[in-house]
Amino acid sequence: MLSKKELLDMQFIDARARLIDLAAFLDRLERHEGGDDIRLSYFKAALPILLENRPDRAKAVLERFSDHTTELSETAPFQGASGAPVS
Amino acid sequence: MSYIEPHAHMVSRTTDDYERLALAGCEALCEPAFWAGFDRSSAAGFYDYFRQLTEYEPKRAARYGIKHFCWLCINPKEADDPGFAREVMALIPEFIGRENVLGIGEIGLNKNTRNELKIFEEHVQIALDYDLPVLIHTPHLEDKLKGTKLILDSLSNFSKLDHSKVIIDHVEEHTVAHVLDAGYWAGMTLYPESKCTPNRAIDILEVYGSENIWMNSACDWGVSDPMAVPKCALEMKRRKHSPEMIRKVTFDNPAKFLSQSPRFKL
């Protein structure tokens, strides 16, 4: 396994770029016209998880974006997925 | 390096991709039956597709020294119409004995509907009837966690099912433990935008171990990369994983699971 420093040497610039890209994504959305969107609410609700002191942030973010209902649907409203429970 | 690509939809890929796979060391690949990106209008469309999987693709792969195997089913995206699904499933016995057919897959759920689950369970029964391995697709994005739990619940009702002959694919951080803890194999799909990135797949190996798990590209007609497995192997090397560990997850593990079908011979 790599040391923390070795991992940072290898991946810090990439992670930094991704973080800035996320910030720019939120700036971009704010500059554009349109109403509220549930997907953005899920997105913003997931962001604080990144700062939590826990070893399973990726799992927690995925769970935040998951449908937690348990009953089967009668029909498929559409075939794809939105990335967050929108219906 | 030599490796096995255990999940690739080569009917959607070019012959150049076969060449790239061969150059990267791919010795065998497995092609589960899946959605074509649109709904077929008749069961006859699946008849032709099953012929393509069992007759044409093995020849195309062989030109590059790659062994081609496949799995048969009607995929969950087209399984919400049970009448149609059963018409397609009725074709399976005609193809099930062909020499490159490993088992039933990729069955599973898409939008977690009652009909999808019914057809999923009927597929599992076919696998049991023929004593074949099963490859299971879990839903996309927000539907994955719920679908994985529904699939596991459903499988627990099949008392004669050998868990070691079932692989549940497309696991991520929030589903992998559910699958492994229940005694099933887990597959990680390396996609550029969804499912796992190479680094996340390696994280999963570091946290959950390397037993009963494989990685695949699931390359198809969408955003995907047929070279994802060798690229992930390279990333494992950069992260100082041993050659033995890389070999285990890219070759030994898939070979071990797939060898449960007597037709899987390298």
**Per residue of chain B (266 residues), what is the pLDDT tens digit?**
999 999 999 999 999 999 999 999 999 999 999 999 999 999 999 999 999 999 999 999 999 999 999 999 999 999 999 999 999 999 999 999 999 999 999 999 999 999 999 999 999 999 999 999 999 999 999 999 999 999 999 999 999 999 999 999 999 999 999 999 999 999 999 998 889 999 999 999 999 999 999 999 999 999 999 999 999 999 999 999 999 999 999 999 999 999 999 999 99
Instruction: Determine the Cα angle at B231 with ends B144 and A63, to 5°.
Output: 20
**With contacts defined as CB-CB under 8 Å, which chain B residues touch A10?**
238-239
A62-71 per-position pLDDT tens digit: 999 999 999 9
DSSP B5: E
pLDDT in tens, chain A (87 residues): 899 999 999 999 999 999 999 999 999 999 999 999 999 999 999 999 999 999 999 999 999 999 999 999 998 878 889 999 986
**With contacts defined as CB-CB under 8 Å, which chain A residues touch B139?**
81
Tell me if B173 and A2 make a contact (CB, 8 A cut-off).
Answer: no
Residue B64: strand, helix, or coil: coil
Partner residue opposite A74 with nearest CB, options B114, B172, B239: B114
User: What pLDDT, on the 0 to 100 scale, is given for residue A78?
Assistant: 81
CATH of the domain at B114: 3.20.20.140
Query: Quick one: three-class SS letters along A16-72?
Result: HHHHHHHHHHHHHHHHCCCCCCHHHHHHHHHHHHHHCCCCCHHHHHHHHCCCCCCCC
Q: Which residue has the tokens 């037993």?
A: B211
Taking the C-alpha atoms of residue B238 and residue A2, their distance in angstroms, rounded to an integer, is 9
Taking the C-alpha atoms of residue B95 and residue A16, their distance in angstroms, rounded to an integer, is 51
**Among B107, B99, B86, residue whose Cα is nearest residue B32:** B107
Range of the domain at B174: 3-258
- The nearest alpha carbon in chain A to B176 belongs to A59
User: What pLDDT, on the 0 to 100 scale, is given for residue A87?
Assistant: 67
The residue among B119, B142, B152, B204 with the most chain A CBs within 10 A of its CB, best to mutate, is: B142
Taking the C-alpha atoms of residue B128 and residue B261, their distance in angstroms, rounded to an integer, is 13
Q: Is residue B264 part of a domain?
A: no
Report yes or no: A75 at the B interface, CB cutoff 8 Å: yes
Partner residue opposite A82 with nearest CB, options B80, B141, B174: B141
Tell me if B111 and A76 make a contact (CB, 8 A cut-off).
Answer: yes
- ipTM, two decimals, is 0.95
Beta bridge partners of residue B3, listed in sequence order: B26
**With contacts defined as CB-CB under 8 Å, which chain B residues touch A84?**
141-142
Q: Is residue B265 part of a domain?
A: no
Tell me if A73 and B113 make a contact (CB, 8 A cut-off).
Answer: yes
User: What pLDDT, on the 0 to 100 scale, is given for residue A76?
Assistant: 84
A8: Cα separation from own chain's centroid = 22
Partner residue opposite B173 with nearest CB, options A2, A62, A79: A62
**With contacts defined as CB-CB under 8 Å, which chain B residues touch A3?**
none
The residue among A59, A65, A68 with the most chain B CBs within 10 A of its CB, best to mutate, is: A59
Strand spans (E) along chain B: 3-5, 26-32, 67-72, 101-108, 134-137, 166-168, 185-189, 213-216
For chain A, positions 8-37, list CB contacts with chain B under 8 A: 10-11
How many domains, in total, are found in chain B?
Answer: 1
Tell me if B142 and A63 make a contact (CB, 8 A cut-off).
Answer: no
- The nearest alpha carbon in chain A to B174 belongs to A59
In percent, the amount of chain A with pLDDT more than 70 equals 99
Instruction: Determine the Cα angle at B92 with ends B90 and B94, to 5°.
Output: 100
**With contacts defined as CB-CB under 8 Å, which chain B residues touch A63?**
145, 174
pTM greater than 0.95 (yes/no): yes
Length of chain B: 266
Tell me if B110 and A76 make a contact (CB, 8 A cut-off).
Answer: yes
